[in-house]
Chains A and B, each alone.
Chain A
């Protein structure tokens, strides 16, 4: 990759409308025109583009013409009259500001597509597919585990729209949830959306299994296994009450599908942590999968969620690990530490929301460390825990940068945590990027 270059179309190429379709109607903004190097003679299209190094075309295939060049590459765009186009720059990245218009030209002027992929049409089609698979007004029942995240919620909403009360959602309270999470699931799904919801309060079970365990991998395994056990028990209870359940709805997304079928080894990069997907398929349960989000990207899922009435706050919620707060408490987990962390975490999120930057961040949370340090509160010497605050910006979660939160915001967070959360007398801010650190501490 190199910095942006200035693409300049050839005046002669612009005369042939058929060949020039990819650049039709595209122009530089006045703001772009100024910083670009001075135009020479005529008045061709000049726009910034994000170039790619590497080989370059030095002899055109028969029937092709050069449409545009840059200073360093005379053959930057080529086309033939049949709608074959080659670009030596990246129209898909935001560093090519007119890139989206160029792609739009390809879709609508060259491929002659119609705009058929809209939120409404995606919902209609997903609903239709679910009905075909499950059968509307049949006795077939669907179960769906809600994690509190957006994917499982939208999957459930689509299934509910398709087959109504044939769906029962299950929410397992592991005790390692954030403040208010269980209440929000009940409020949104049961009260507002009138979806059948079974809430299993299993926090005692999880806490007793986790007692004394400090190894993070061990914690993840315990929670993953226990989750499946609880989910299975609840499923058989539901079957005893209301008859057999045939389907399990899951919020699998398109990127998961691409990754699992990809030829590209880079996409299946080494797993650093065992990812535990709450709502994952219990292996020995004999359920058929319904995956209504299988062909969708995250941003499409969010749009559908909004259209189906999922509260905005939920739709834009940061990702949360399956093992929950258990891996944000360094060392053994117990009820009291969970309470401490929940309170600190709620302050972090509240202040970040209040500052209006929640959606700019990829993730933000508190970590309860086992470190104890000396402090003074009033006239008293204290000896209590250190809470670490973590906030990152990221595009894809593969890499992340620590967020440059304002000193004022950090001060408010710190001040509130030490004053409002018993057992914490010091707050530190994590200023490490990923890599080398991971986003989560465990």
Chain B
């Protein structure tokens, strides 16, 4: 494996959105390698991967609210790594929540059959 070149990669952290896989596919369609990893994956774990030259992160959407007791968080080291991070829906709320902003719980209206993303 040592001879393997490191590949530029965008890491998608999966917070449970039905679209997490689609994000990974879209990035690859745009000709950048992307891997989908569990939300709890740490920066240190990813840096151990010899084939990855990580260029940025995407935090997927997900059904949770940052106020849920079990709300999955992002490894803070990822947010302070200096690498770009794109947060989508729940991922955006995590950015705000974990970087010192504030998230207002939305009155739970009729959200239809799809889960909040």
Contact of A113 among B10, B61, B95 (CB under 8 A): B10
Q: Across the interface, do A116 and B33 meet the contact criterion of CB distance under 8 Å?
A: yes
Give the chain B neighbours of A117 by CB distance below 8 A. 7, 28, 31-34
With A82-B84, A100-B30, A117-B32: A61-B89 Cβ-Cβ less than 8 Å: no
Q: Across the interface, do A61 and B33 meet the contact criterion of CB distance under 8 Å?
A: no
Query: Once bound together, how far apart are the Cα atoms of A180 and B55, in whole Å?
Result: 48
Give the chain A neighbours of B33 by CB distance below 8 A. 116-117
A53 CB–B CB distance under 8 Å: yes
A34 CB–B CB distance under 8 Å: no
Interface of chain B, main secondary structure = mixed
Contact of B93 among A22, A57, A112, A300 (CB under 8 A): A57
Q: Across the interface, do B101 and A60 meet the contact criterion of CB distance under 8 Å?
A: yes
Query: Once bound together, how far apart are the Cα atoms of A297 and B105, in whole Å?
Result: 36
Q: Across the interface, do A61 and B117 meet the contact criterion of CB distance under 8 Å?
A: no
Contact of A55 among B22, B83, B95, B105 (CB under 8 A): B105
Give the chain A neighbours of B4 by CB distance below 8 A. 128-129
Give the chain A neighbours of B102 by CB distance below 8 A. 57-59
A270 CB–B CB distance under 8 Å: no
With A52-B117, A54-B89, A55-B93: A263-B103 Cβ-Cβ less than 8 Å: no
Which one of A87-95, A350-358, A428-436 is at the B interface?
A: A87-95
B45 CB–A CB distance under 8 Å: no
* CB within 8 Å of B: which A100-157 residues: 100, 103-104, 106-108, 110-118, 125, 128-129, 132
Give B33's nearest chain A residue, CB to CB. A117
Query: Once bound together, how far apart are the Cα atoms of A87 and B17, in whole Å?
Result: 14
Query: Once bound together, how far apart are the Cα atoms of A125 and B58, in whole Å?
Result: 25
Least distance between B13 CB and chain A CB atoms (Å) = 11
Give A50's nearest chain B residue, CB to CB. B117
B47 CB–A CB distance under 8 Å: no
Give the chain A neighbours of B3 by CB distance below 8 A. 132
Q: Across the interface, do A118 and B104 meet the contact criterion of CB distance under 8 Å?
A: no
* CB within 8 Å of B: which A292-330 residues: 295, 297, 299-300
A378 CB–B CB distance under 8 Å: no
One digit per residue, 1 when the CB lies within 8 angstroms of any chain A CB and 0 when it does not, for chain B 85-97 equals 1111111110110
Q: Across the interface, do B31 and A118 meet the contact criterion of CB distance under 8 Å?
A: yes
Q: Across the interface, do A262 and B91 meet the contact criterion of CB distance under 8 Å?
A: no
Contact of A61 among B16, B39, B66, B96 (CB under 8 A): B96
Query: Once bound together, how far apart are the Cα atoms of A118 and B7, in whole Å?
Result: 12
Q: Across the interface, do B89 and A90 meet the contact criterion of CB distance under 8 Å?
A: yes
Give A119's nearest chain B residue, CB to CB. B31
With A54-B106, A61-B101: A84-B85 Cβ-Cβ less than 8 Å: yes
Q: Across the interface, do B86 and A78 meet the contact criterion of CB distance under 8 Å?
A: no
Q: Across the interface, do A78 and B92 meet the contact criterion of CB distance under 8 Å?
A: yes
* CB within 8 Å of A: which B38-94 residues: 38-40, 55-56, 58, 61, 65-67, 79, 82-93
Q: Across the interface, do A87 and B88 meet the contact criterion of CB distance under 8 Å?
A: yes
Give A83's nearest chain B residue, CB to CB. B84
Query: Once bound together, how far apart are the Cα atoms of A88 and B92, in whole Å?
Result: 7
Count of interface residues, chain A, beta-carbon cutoff 8 Å: 59
* CB within 8 Å of A: which B97-117 residues: 99-106, 109, 111-112, 114, 116-117
A258 CB–B CB distance under 8 Å: yes
With A57-B93, A107-B27: A87-B22 Cβ-Cβ less than 8 Å: no
Give the chain A neighbours of B105 by CB distance below 8 A. 55
Give the chain A neighbours of B58 by CB distance below 8 A. 106
Q: Across the interface, do A262 and B86 meet the contact criterion of CB distance under 8 Å?
A: no
Query: Once bound together, how far apart are the Cα atoms of A82 and B21, in whole Å?
Result: 26
Q: Across the interface, do B101 and A64 meet the contact criterion of CB distance under 8 Å?
A: yes
Q: Across the interface, do B112 and A1 meet the contact criterion of CB distance under 8 Å?
A: yes
Query: Once bound together, how far apart are the Cα atoms of A59 and B33, in whole Å?
Result: 34
A255 CB–B CB distance under 8 Å: yes
Q: Across the interface, do B32 and A115 meet the contact criterion of CB distance under 8 Å?
A: yes
Query: Once bound together, how far apart are the Cα atoms of A316 and B76, in whole Å?
Result: 43
Q: Across the interface, do A116 and B101 meet the contact criterion of CB distance under 8 Å?
A: no
Which residue, of A61, A117, A255, A266, has the highest number of chain B Cβ atoms within 10 A? A117
Q: Across the interface, do A52 and B86 meet the contact criterion of CB distance under 8 Å?
A: no
With A53-B106, A111-B55, A113-B10: A106-B31 Cβ-Cβ less than 8 Å: no
A85 CB–B CB distance under 8 Å: yes
Q: A55-B93, A61-B96, A90-B89 are in contact. List 12 more A-B contacts (CB 8 A).
A: A61-B101, A83-B84, A84-B85, A86-B93, A87-B86, A88-B89, A90-B117, A103-B26, A117-B31, A125-B7, A263-B38, A297-B24
29 A-B pairs (CB sep. < 8 Å): A52-B116, A53-B111, A54-B93, A54-B117, A55-B103, A56-B106, A58-B102, A59-B102, A60-B96, A61-B100, A83-B83, A84-B87, A86-B95, A87-B86, A90-B19, A90-B88, A92-B26, A103-B26, A106-B86, A115-B30, A116-B8, A116-B31, A116-B33, A128-B4, A129-B4, A258-B36, A261-B38, A263-B38, A299-B25
Sorted nearest first, the 3 A-B pairs with minimum C-beta distance are: A86-B92, A83-B84, A61-B99
